[in-house]
Amino acid sequence: MNSNYKVIKFRSNNSKEVNDQISIEEPLEIILKYKDKENWIENTISITMRTPGDDEDLVTGFLFNERVIEKISHIENIASSGEPVGQYKLQNKIIVTINNSENIDIDKIKRNFLTNSSCGVCGKTSLESLEIIKKDKIIKSIPKISHEIIMKSPNLLRQNQSEFSKTGGIHASGLFNADGGIVSVKEDVGRHNALDKLIGYILRRKLLDNSSQFLTCSGRLNFDLVQKALMANIGVLIGVGAPTSLAVDLANKFDMTLVGFVKEDSFNIYSNNERIIIKN
């Protein structure tokens, strides 16, 4: 989703006013609705800045990745709420009704979120934070991905982005099959939101096959992207940029394969190279 803005473009010592397409960024308030004994309770658990669209996939992926829910069947209903507001007349609230209310501890949920909308894993100083909710490691033997497919995936991701070519200001995450086929691509101004949207989408439609699929993301690879991929037990995470130290440490700890700086003829493997098939 984008909008036209007037900008001044400077080129070769000349400037002119033109219309330019800018990616829209709007807040989304996520409200959890659950039953406490006989009473229905509504609590705001997060406000994230996102590209409007695919909001149901976004909140599904977010709640699953943060382990507010363990199965998407725990979501009874998702509904936009409130009057359309702002320049674009959007409903920027979404209410998620949960049917496993006996497991809801709202104070714990607010206190233990691994990510937030702006800076990822704020205040987290060790990997033990994730071990509380994830005990198992990724199976090391799957999937197997050839080096040719890895080097092709960023261009395929870019070609299947509808918004990047218009604005240049949006991230994407794509789920690929081992043969390079695209399962789905999702975009957002926030890289973590793009991955939440993607994981929410594939879980709701039962498209995930951990034995033969991998993720490719635009930009750098940080802790929260690795965390979200781990929640879905995806064994290979690829990025066009550099990983952070904590992303590499986390990938190593849970046996994920992390590949960065992917170009048409090169890439770096930062952890668990067994899944990458290199043909000389």
Q: Which residues are catalytic?
A: 119
Q: Could you give the CA distance from residue 48 to residue 247 in angstroms, rounded to a whole number?
A: 22
Q: What is the β-pairing status of strands 182-188 and 171-177?
A: antiparallel
The answer for residues whose C-beta is within 8 angstroms of residue 218's C-beta and 6 or more apart is 154, 157, 158, 164, 171, 172, 173, 191, 194, 239, 240, 241
Q: Could you give the CA distance from residue 241 to residue 252 in angstroms, rounded to a whole number?
A: 18
Q: Could you give the CA distance from residue 194 to residue 174 in angstroms, rounded to a whole number?
A: 9
The label of the residue with tokens 């990745």 reads 65
